[in-house]
A and B are shown apart, each in its own frame.
Chain A
Amino acid sequence: MVRDPAADPAVDLRGVTKDYGGVGVFDLDLRVERGEVVGFLGPNGAGKSTTIRVVLDLVRPEAGTVRVLGLDPRAAGPQVRARLGFLPSDLAVWGRATARQALDHLARLRGGVDPAWTGELCRRLDVDLDRPLRTLSTGNRQKVGLVQALAHRPDLVVLDEPTMGLDPLVQQEVQRLLRETADEGRTVLLSSHTLSEVERVADRVAVLRRGRLVAVERVAALKQVAVRRVRAELDREPDAGAFRRLQGVRDVVVDGRRLEAVVEGHVDALVKELARSTVVSLDVEEADLEEVFLAMYAGDGRAAAGCGGGDGAAAPGHRAGAAR
């Protein structure tokens, strides 16, 4: 029976260990399916860059197996990399080369790059093509890096801190591009230490801590258990006790007709309780995944109990604390 290479995961790491004297990655399992956008999160030194370098075959693990687009990136390097786009965290600079020259050079190395699509990317990201790369700001260099990573419509895009240094409008355009990439059945693996960046575009989030995967969750699932801060002003003084008795509601503070509380998960019960009075104003802060992950990091390396309803079934092969 002939194996269909398109059925293989985009990235499949099993038991990967790369030890830099206690730093690196250890016994790492990570499986990224085709067409997914997966956010790779962790603080500096968590092992994100090491994992990306393993995927790119820049470093070779001491243990474990690595498959990228169904192939061994060491044995089949050129075939793998022809279908891979990569954005480093801070685009390197080639002497006097302009962005146009650098993009042309990389396009010739890859072959099959559609100039019209490259032009479209440059237009959407507002790339200045004719100035030397070394004179560009970090954000403008980053835009050049994004164009070169996407110009050949790769099957797998690996992005290290993709929106670093970009202004909010360009960040939104990048997020649209990444969603379009996934909609075309291509895969995006992006690393970040900023949760807000990842949650806007990712289907799933993989969290690394000290070189070990501690959680793999769907962003939607995380949002359900995420922590929100609610502030409301009513037409009369609220009954603090009634709010404190609501499930998932804590840190209730009443100040005259104003109420402030922290809600874990859905805000439905709190809103219904508020609705017993006339609500003058209501402010619900955006779900903050940071607090969830901080809770994870504060523990013993296992995911917080609230994250246990993860997607182990949807993402077979993941080994991640409570997500397993």
Chain B
Amino acid sequence: MSGPARTTAPPACAPRPGAVVRELARWDVRQRWRSAAGTGAALGVVGVMVVALYPSVGRSLGDLADQLPAAVANLLGGASTSTLAGWVEFEYVSILGPFALLLLGGVLGAGWLAGAEEERTTALVLATPATRRGVVLAALVAGVPLLVLAAALSAVGLLVGDALVAEGDLSLGGVVAVHLQLVGLGVLGLALALAVGALGGRRALALGLVGAVGVVSFLVDGFAPTVDGLAWAERLSAFSWAVGSSPLTGGLDGAGLAVLLGAAAALVVVAVVAHERRDLHA
């Protein structure tokens, strides 16, 4: 040992907790914006194609689709394909959009908590003044704008497609409403992945559960209304709360969005508490 023991005070310029969360979120966005932009761009391209196919394929399928059994039609969105809005709901809003945003939220949430623990970057971050709670909140702060980015690109795709086919059938308000609902669903996926990741520290488990919620929600949303005595189960479907009210034509479903965000908030609380208490592997 050499040298005197120095008086050691906390660094005068240690960042405030809010600044730490902002830096964590900024870093998270920097790490994952490509995933969100890629998902959104892919959705946008598919959206253009779906709308563009309406005059040649969708309209001609209209009669056929209208003759589908109720259960099958309901599974595919329950909309009539005799209009462009119905076709988009049938092809895009009821299946593709919800799955994409839910899974994007799951990928982001699973990566930022369980993934970081598996990759052992958690230990590096938590050797700084960052707190465990701050890490969870930063994931939320970073995740929402990335989900909005993906949804915005998806919305642009639908609107560009609508302009291309000159049908003028898709309202801007309806497209925005759909994508706000989808962002709500994505936030639910994000929060669920954060909670599962915080509880177990395993990315595959977190992402797998989000995927399972998506599949079950899709099936329940499609079949429950058509099975006697099971109509109540529709309320258990996240897809139902997100797009069950046909927001493309019916506008924003405030109650559905509130349920999604409320469930997400509860899951974030679970994530914070679990992350605060659990032994971290790295």
Q: Residues of A at under 8 Å CB distance from B?
A: 4-7, 33-37, 53, 56-60, 69, 77-79, 81-86, 88, 90-95, 97, 105-106, 108-112, 148, 152, 155, 158, 182-186, 203
Contacts and interface: CB of A to CB of B under 8 A. Distances in A.
B10 A106 contact: no
B124 A92 contact: yes
Interface residues of B, number: 38
Most chain B CB inside 10 Å of its own CB: which residue of A81, A91, A109, A203: A109
Interface stretch (B46-54, B126-134, B143-151): B126-134
A33 B1 contact: yes
B23 A109 contact: yes
A57 B275 CA distance: 12
Which of A5, A33, A77, A105 has its CB near the most chain B CB atoms (within 10 A)? A105
A143 B280 CA distance: 25
Contacts of A148: 124
A59 B280 contact: yes
Contacts of B56: none
A106 B20 CA distance: 10
A86 B127 contact: yes
B31 interface: yes
Interface stretch (B115-123, B218-226, B263-271): B115-123
A95 B124 contact: no
B11 A82 contact: yes
A78 B282 contact: no
- In this complex, the member of B8, B11, B12, B17 whose beta carbon has the largest number of chain A beta carbons within 10 angstroms is B8
Given A77-B131, A92-B119, A105-B23, A185 B3 contact: yes
B129 A109 contact: yes
Contact of A59 (B19, B127, B279): B279
Contacts of B24: 109
B35 to A, nearest CB: 10
Given A109-B23, A110-B129, A155-B8, 18 more contacts: A33-B1, A35-B3, A56-B123, A56-B126, A58-B282, A59-B280, A69-B8, A83-B8, A86-B123, A92-B123, A92-B124, A92-B282, A108-B15, A109-B15, A148-B124, A152-B11, A185-B3, A186-B6
A49 to B, nearest CB: 10
Contacts of B8: 5-6, 34, 69, 83, 155
B204 to A, nearest CB: 18
B279 A58 contact: yes
Nearest to B119: A92
Contacts of B124: 86, 88, 91-92, 106, 148
Nearest to A153: B11
Q: Is the interface of B mostly helix, strand, loop or mixed?
A: loop
B11 A110 contact: yes
Nearest to B128: A109
B18 to A, nearest CB: 12
A110 B128 contact: yes
Contacts of A203: 1
B6 A111 contact: no
B31 A97 contact: yes
Contact of A82 (B23, B121, B129): B129
Interface string B24-47: 100100110000000000000000
A185 B6 contact: yes
A313 B126 CA distance: 35
Nearest to A37: B1
25 contacts: A6-B6, A33-B1, A33-B5, A35-B6, A53-B123, A56-B127, A60-B279, A78-B17, A78-B130, A81-B126, A81-B127, A81-B128, A82-B14, A86-B123, A86-B124, A109-B15, A109-B20, A109-B23, A110-B11, A110-B15, A110-B129, A111-B129, A155-B6, A183-B3, A203-B1
Contacts of A35: 1-6
B207 to A, nearest CB: 17
Contacts of A77: 129, 131
B123 A182 contact: no
A106 B128 contact: yes
A34 B11 contact: no
B255 interface: no
B279 A182 contact: no
A83 B10 contact: yes
B68 interface: no
Contacts of A184: 3, 6
